[in-house]
Amino acid sequence: MKKMLITIGILILVLALVSGGLIAWANASHHRINVNRLTVRPLTDRQVTLTAAPKTLNLRVQTAVITIRSGAQNRLDLTNVAADQYHLDQQNDTLSLTETAADRHQLTLGRSAKIVLTLANADDLDAVTIHQLNGTLNLTDLTTHHLEVHHHNGTTQAHRLTVTGAGRLIKDNGSTTLTQLTSAGLNVAVKNGQAHLNGRRVATSNHDYTIAGQHPLTITSGSGQVKITQ
């Protein structure tokens, strides 16, 4: 029994050393290792100047740090991405950024992708739809008529977000923080965790909280804390 435990301990140590070495190499050489697919891909940075100001946004990605913000020009910055990791499509007033197999969990070693979308018309959007499997989502100074977000795992943050029509934010795991939120009503449901509004606890596990309005923003949190200020 003792010999078996020693063997297991040695195997764990070897795996930890190998994993640590691979991570260090991937970060230093600007590569990403996909353990599921047994592939090694070089990473690069891209900057795209958008041809027009989009009114509708559709993002469907696997693991990334996503930032959508207001700025002087319409631009998309992609950092730590493989050559064909994302498909960008801009037609008329709709911008779509999609990733193949965005719904599938992948074990990867190396730097995560960063997506920064800067919009000059961030205060006048028709619809924002985001499906994100893992990572951090940041929304800053956005005004949209329709909002549809499903963020599975990670941290969701929004600052000065305004939703003038129907809106829904589904969060499976992780914290959700919305500061200076404006919406025509609010409904927050928490499965595991707590919800705070303007510093006051308004809901605990398996409870919800509602502020009546014409188009309430619905927030559903599976596991994690929800903090909102208005």
Q: Are 182 and 230 in contact (CB under 8 A)?
A: yes
pLDDT digit of tens for each residue in the chain (230 aa)? 666 556 665 555 545 545 566 566 556 666 777 777 767 788 999 999 998 899 999 999 999 999 999 999 999 999 999 888 999 999 989 999 999 877 887 777 778 899 999 999 999 999 999 999 999 999 999 999 999 999 999 999 999 999 999 999 999 999 999 999 999 999 999 999 999 999 999 999 999 999 999 999 999 999 999 999 99
For residues 228 and 230, give the distance between their C-alpha atoms in angstroms, rounded to a whole number. Answer: 7
Secondary structure (3-state) at 164: coil
Token pair listed for 216: 């309430």
Contacts of residue 178, Cβ cutoff 8 Å, sequence gap at least 6: 157, 158, 159, 161, 227, 228, 229
Contacts of residue 52, Cβ cutoff 8 Å, sequence gap at least 6: 74, 90, 92, 93
DSSP-derived secondary structure letter, 216: P
Angstrom distances, CA of residue 103 to CA of 64, 94, 129 = 13, 22, 15
Secondary structure (3-state) at 198: coil
3-state secondary structure 87-134: EEEEECCEEEEEECCCCCCCCEEECCEEEEEEECCCCCEEEEEEEEEE
Token pair listed for 192: 């595991």
Token pair listed for 221: 């949190």
Whether the model pTM is above 0.85: yes
Q: Are 228 and 195 in contact (CB under 8 A)?
A: yes
